[in-house]
Structure 1
Amino acid sequence: MSRSILPLLALTFSIPAAAMLWQSQDLSRVFAAFAAPSGLLQGCGDVPEAVALAEELRDRALRIERYMASIDARKEELVEAETTLRQRLSELKAQKGGTRLRRDTASEAVRQDIDRLVAVYDQMKPAEAAAVLTNLPADFAAEILMRVRPETGARIIASVEPRQAALLTAQMGARSVRKQ
């Protein structure tokens, strides 16, 4: 019995809704507020509750407008801040690239200087090179010995006194371990 009532109720509610839609093809008018803000108090000016309600609604509308204006201002500030940050980021990236280029250039110059120095030690007699290397700091002397040709390095180490040769060899081994 209850199943036969459901279609009847649906038909009862849908016919007036369809008739209303058919008569007023403009749906926005159906859902729009019926009272315009200026005519909100028309005929109700003597009712204090209505006047108070209308003033409160007007105040709320003003607060909402101010709040929306502040949101728009904040949006503009955020857009400006984002633009500034993007510009600063691109400047920093350019500086980073310049710094990297200068560092790479300086590293390349140091490498070239070391290569020239190694070439000088490669050309020296082993006994003369050994005499100079024993007066250099051990880590620097080990670096030079690591870069000269192996035959030249072996002759230089053979020309150094045993205690100094052991120290240079240990420095060379420590340098290899540090690089790993």
Structure 2
Amino acid sequence: MARLMLPALTVMFALPAAAMLWQGKDFTRIFAAVAAPSDLLQGCGDVPEAVALAEELRDRALRIERYMEALDLRKADLVQADSTLRERLTELRAQKGSVTARRDGATEAVRNDIDRLIAVYDQMKPAEAAAILTNLPADFAAEILMRVQPETGARIIAAVEPRQAALLTAQMGARSVRNP
């Protein structure tokens, strides 16, 4: 019999609480002080312990109300901060999109410029191209040689001084190893 009482009491107390939660009731009113201290002291004003207890209860009720007000303020601050962060996130995503578009445009422009440069070297005579490439930085010259037509690149390397040709070939190989 005692074993049946505990679940029955649990259900009896849990159901109203669940119903209140489901309905979205405000629990602060339930826990607020219901009686004024003067009502609590009715007939007990001459008992110092009762007066002290009533004052303690009043002080606690005031602290709880202040705490609940502080919680409401913090809740409002959090909602405001959340809103601000969401707006900022939207702005940053828009900026990221525009930066990406600009970067893609710039990358495309650089590729077009490189393609035109490669086309120029493809059209040059190997001896003229070799003379120009020997005056460029080795990594840049190797990049150009890697991108021109293979036949044109072979003729240009053949026209370069052997020591310079070895350096350019090593740069080309090192570039291939770095960027598989």
Per the normalisation by structure 2, the TM-score is 0.78
SS at match of 2:98: helix
1-structure distance, mates of 2:176, 2:93 = 35
Q: Point out where structure 2 has 5 or more consecutive residues left out of the alignment.
A: 6-29
Kindly indicate whether residue 128 of structure 2 is the aligned counterpart of residue 141 of structure 1.
Answer: no
Residue type at the aligned position of 2:95: Q
1-structure distance, mates of 2:176, 2:89 = 39
1-structure distance, mates of 2:134, 2:67 = 80
Quote the RMSD (CA, aligned, Å).
Answer: 1.9
Give the C-alpha shift of residue 80 in structure 1: 0.6
- Please name the residue that 2:58 is paired with: 58
Residue type at the aligned position of 2:179: K
Give the C-alpha shift of residue 47 in structure 1: 1.1
Kindly indicate whether residue 121 of structure 2 is the aligned counterpart of residue 132 of structure 1.
Answer: no
Residue type at the aligned position of 1:147: R
Q: Point out where structure 1 has 5 or more consecutive residues left out of the alignment.
A: 1-6, 14-31
- Please name the residue that 2:76 is paired with: 76
The alignment covers a number of residue pairs equal to 150
- Please name the residue that 1:37 is paired with: 35
- Please name the residue that 1:113 is paired with: 113
Which whole-Å deviations, capped at 9, do the CAs of 1:119-147 have from their partners, x for residues lacking one?
01101111111111111111111111000
Greater than 6 Å deviation, 4+ residue runs: none
2-structure distance, mates of 1:97, 1:170 = 40
Which whole-Å deviations, capped at 9, do the CAs of 1:82-131 have from their partners, x for residues lacking one?
11111111111111121111111111111100000000110111111111
Give the C-alpha shift of residue 169 in structure 1: 0.4
